Chain A
């Protein structure tokens, strides 16, 4: 199975400041169709996960443009340009190429200072 490793596992950010989360996969997530199947989810406290980013860098409908994804192959990053209070929660990366199973990173807990 593909192992997804996130760093850091927690971060505390002042509102208005940027934040960055790294996700590394144990194998390349580049598919023969040319797409890279790396996703980012946010699970806010007490809620179910919500999709933020798909195929590395495409924002899902309704996701604010302060969220951006980048990377290729095995190294990926989620960036929040200016953190807001509503961004608190746990962020997960997930791979969708080497199936089954879909696998997740351990999660990164974001809190506000």
Chain B
């Protein structure tokens, strides 16, 4: 069974940093790109960024709203994807979801349960 479990969320002050983790199981992690999405309270879904699998270069892409502040990385040996968030702003407050990208059908098929990040002084 495919499982994605996010962790690391919490309350943080503006300007500080936080690192989220996404621990995967039930599939060969290294074969998939991994992505992060977020959802501000009462709002819609927003794509944050993704990291390609090593076979596709392991490169990253980011939304303009987080580029230069957020970094996605992966540890295939541990089946974990990370979202390093620096210089956090109040508008980064959201539930952050980790997803798996399936290359053959070009889709985000499985999502984690999400972890809440609250940026507030």
From B111, which residue of chain A is reached at the shortest CB distance?
A48
* A51 lies within 8 A of chain B by Cβ: yes
**A51–B45 touching, CB < 8 Å:** no
Contact with A along B82-121 (1 / 0, CB 8 A): 0000000000000001000000011111011110000000
* Shortest Cβ gap from A33 to chain B (Å): 9
A51-B108 contact in complex given A99-B61, A100-B61, A101-B63, C-beta closer than 8 Å: yes
Report the minimal beta-carbon distance from A40 to chain B, rounded to whole angstroms: 11
Give Cα A39 to B47, complex, Å: 14
Which B residues are CB-close (under 8 A) to A94?
45
| B46 lies within 8 A of chain A by Cβ | yes
Beyond A48-B97, A48-B113, whether A103 also contacts B47 by CB under 8 A is yes
Verify B46–A104 contact, CB threshold 8 A: yes
Cβ A51 vs Cβ B107 within 8 A: yes
**Measured between alpha carbons, how far is A59 from B49 in the docked complex, in Å?**
25
Within 8 A of A (CB), among B27-76: 37, 44-47, 49, 61-64
Which chain A residues border B106 with CB–CB below 8 Å?
Answer: 35, 37, 54-55, 96
Q: Which residues in B have their C-beta under 8 angstroms from that of A37?
A: 106
Q: For the side of the interface on B, what is the size category? A: 20 to 34
Binary flags per residue of B8-28, CB closer than 8 Å to A gives 1, else 0 = 000000000000000000000
Given contacts A48-B97, A100-B63, A101-B63, are A60 and B44 in contact (CB under 8 A)? no
Are B62's CB and A49's CB within 8 A?
no
Closest chain A residue to B112 by CB distance? A48
What residues on A are CB-neighbors of B111 within 8 Å?
A: 48-50
Q: CB within 8 Å of B: which of A22-76?
A: 35, 37, 39, 41, 43, 47-51, 54-55, 58, 60
Partner of A54, one of B47, B49, B105, B112: B105
A87 to B54, CA, bound (A): 38
B62 and A100 within 8 A (CB): yes
A47 surroundings in chain B (CB, below 8 A): 113
Interface residues of B (CB under 8 A from A): 37, 44-47, 49, 61-64, 97, 105-109, 111-114
Residues on A close to B: CB < 8 A?
35, 37, 39, 41, 43, 47-51, 54-55, 58, 60, 90, 92, 94, 96, 99-107
